[in-house]
Amino acid sequence: MGNASGLAVITVMLVTTFLTSLVIVLCWHRPPLLALAFLLFFGSIEALYFSASLIKFLEGAWLPILLALILMAVMLIWHYTTIKKYEFDLHNKVTLEWLLALGDRLGMVRVPGIGLVYTDLTSGVPANFSRFVTNLPAFHQVLVFVCVKSVPVPYVFPAERYLIGRVGPPGHRSYRCIVRYGYRDVHQDVDSFETELVETLATFITLDASYRCSEASERELELDPGEQERRLTVIASNPLRRRASYDLQDSVQHSAASTVEVRATAADSLSPRDAEISSAAGPKQVRFFIDSHVVSPEAAENKQVADELEALAAAREAGTAFILGHSHVQCKPGSSVLKRLAVDVGYNFLRRNCRGPDVALRVPPASLLEVGMVYVL
């Protein structure tokens, strides 16, 4: 045990010295000569201890090397298969227009509620969802493709967490939301995430309507649909977000139906719309108050935003479903033995013994809908 721990400790010290010399140059922006001097001074001392520990390799020092190789193999298998799954999704994604055009022949219907489809893609419709709706031609009235990304920073400010965009034209009621977390951020619980998401979507609808009516957007709307879909907005950093208020109040005197009221005010033309949601003790009632002069001076545009907000409010009242993929991975026929061992045996064993995405995302079991998908890599 002494030989094993000695080799492990001195190896860690030697690797730390090499990485610190890189930090001196790349992060601290010090002269390379200083980093070289640091590496030669400390590295030469640690190299002597490292060579001495290698003499005891057959007397127990092989244990940390073996453990390191096993852990490295696990990480390589997981990383390799995850990348291949992402490439499979990327090559098999479809557009929402193609999906809806196919739905005309399948008799596709929209059911009440909000459907949150979790995917790793930042554009297009994932293959598991397209397979789901072609076999069961129905999806929710409001559809949100949620992509949770981890960024290489400790924390992401709440004002920069949500990126919102449209998938298809406004009449489709389909959106894309990229949620960014730092590696030290704590994921939100489902209730607060759902509330913030609906608030963000309502703010995006009003903001997008005013932007589409501006002169700048008229020039940019000439882009192809793929470019328009890749346009995302950081909603929380906009002043409109700070003015949006969602006041949930208990009331048993209101009906269960969601209503939308449009009112014109005499405020300044740059004032944002105010949104107010009031909920009853049983079914909730949602009201969005919209300043018509902010959206557009034309009543038609104002009516379109009001209808979209009403659809969002009604969908929130109907409930939210979390749609996640349940994947099974297998190799293509003719793959090498090493690949079959890594993917068919190694990755599937790790996936079965790791916590699922529903646990990591804190999805309630009553609202969970898993869609099976076989990845042939």
Same-domain pairing of 20 and 169: no
- State pLDDT tens for residues 71-108: 999 999 999 999 999 999 888 888 777 777 776 677 77
Longest C-alpha distance within the chain, in Å? 86
The torsion angle over the Cα atoms of residues 53, 54, 60 and 64, rounded to 10 degrees, is: 90
Say if 309 falls within a structural domain. Answer: yes
Range of the structural domain that residue 13 is part of = 1-59
SS3 162: strand
Asked whether residue 226 is assigned to any structural domain, the reply reads no
Please tell me whether the overall predicted TM-score, pTM, comes out greater than 0.75 for this model: no
Could you tell me the two tokens for 167? 């998938």
**Which candidate, 174, 176, 190, places its Cα nearest to that of 312?**
174
CA distances from 118 to 85, 128, 197 (A): 15, 10, 14
In whole angstroms, how far apart are CA 347 and each of 49, 211, 227, 322, 328? 37, 46, 35, 25, 10
The answer on 307 and 338 residing in a single domain is yes
As a whole number of angstroms, the distance between CA 193 and CA 199 comes to 10
Residue position matching structure tokens 């014109």: 264
For 108: left if phi > 0, alpha if psi spans -120 to 50, otherwise beta; the answer is beta
DSSP 334: T
pLDDT band, very low/low/confident/very high, at 222 (cuts 50, 70, 90): low
Do 79 and 99 lie in one domain? The reply is: yes
Same-domain check for residues 76 and 44? no
Reference 259, options 311, 304, 318; nearest CA is 311
Query: What is the model's pLDDT at position 225?
Result: 52
What is the three-class DSSP state of 344?
helix
**Residue 211 shares a structural domain with residue 344:** yes
Note whether 31 and 126 are same-domain residues.
no
Q: Does some domain include residue 14?
A: yes
In Å, what is the CA distance from 136 to each residue of 53, 64, 133? 63, 52, 5
Give pLDDT tens digits for 267-277. Answer: 333 333 333 33
- Say if residue 103 is in the same domain as residue 55: no
Q: Are residues 156 and 138 in the same domain?
A: yes
pLDDT tens digits, one per residue of 53-78: 888 888 888 888 889 899 999 999 99
CB atoms within 10 A of CB 69: 10
pLDDT tens-digit readout, 169-208: 778 888 999 999 898 888 777 778 888 888 888 888 888 7
Number of domains in the chain: 2
Among 19, 39, 59, give the residue marking a domain's end.
59
22 and 81 in a single domain? The answer is no
Same domain, 91 and 26: no
Pairing of strands 368-376, 284-291: unpaired
Look at residue 230 in the predicted model and tell me its pLDDT: 58
Whether residue 154 sits in one domain with residue 37: no
